[in-house]
Amino acid sequence: MALNLTDRLPPDTSSPVQFTLSLTAEERTRSRHYFETDEGQGVYLRLPRGIVLRHGELLRSEDGKTLVRVLAKPEPVMTVTAPTALDLLRTAYHLGNRHVALEVTESYLRLSPDPVLKTMLEQLGVQVTETIAPFEPEAGAYGHRHTHSKPGDPKSEKDSAHHSHHPHG
């Protein structure tokens, strides 16, 4: 019988976990879906829409008796390294202009395989390695309400009503 997973909890290494659920980056964006745990147990995600599950988070069953740990499943990715931090920063800028799902660290960038982007990256002079690894892209700027001032400030509410995304040049 499949478990209904309804609660999302922060990572906690001391909690007794009954199952693990390895999901790709894309699968971790699904809030209402059927999966099988690594142990073969069927689970239905019944979570609020719009969430993105992160590696290490816990999911609790509807009856509160079962905990499932979410793991970032290794998947095909391109890992980008650069000779200098500035080169890596420039590369992140170019990928950001293309709205690419991107994992950002101090020493590398990681993204889904794309032959067109691979060519562009190589032209930028960075090293691109295709591999299988867990992929933890940034949640993104559009996953929350975007304001430039304090909540409740009338100027903030006015600005957010007129804020729109513009094309990058």
Assigned domain for 155 exists:
no
List, for residues 44-61, the tens digit of each pLDDT value.
999 999 899 999 999 999
pLDDT in tens, 118-139: 999 999 999 999 999 999 999 8
User: Does residue 166 form part of some domain?
Assistant: no
Number of domains into which the chain is organized? 2
pLDDT of 25 above 90: yes
Question: What is the DSSP secondary-structure string of 37-86?
Answer: -TTS-EEEEE--TT----TT-EEEETTS--EEEEEE--EEEEEEE-SSHH
Confidence of residue 5 (pLDDT cuts 50, 70, 90): very high
67 and 94 both lie in a single domain: no
Residues 16 and 43 reside in one and the same domain:
yes
pLDDT of residue 141: 56
Same domain, 32 and 84: no
Whether the CB-CB separation of 44 and 82 falls below 8 Å is answered with: no
What is the reported pTM? 0.77
The yes-or-no verdict on residue 74 having pLDDT over 90 is yes
68 and 82 co-located in one domain = no
For residue 118, is it within any domain?
Answer: yes
Q: How far apart are CA 31 and CA 155, in angstroms?
A: 34
Domain extent, residue 27, equals: 3-72
Quickly list H helices, 126-167: 154-162
How does 76-105 read in b/e, with b if 16+ C-beta sit within 10 Å?
ebbbbebeeeebbeebbeebeeeeebbbbe
Please report the pLDDT score of residue 15 as a whole number. Answer: 83
User: Residue 37's domain is classified under what CATH number?
Assistant: 2.60.260.20
Is the pLDDT at 67 greater than 60? The verdict is yes
- Percentage of the chain exceeding pLDDT 90: 77
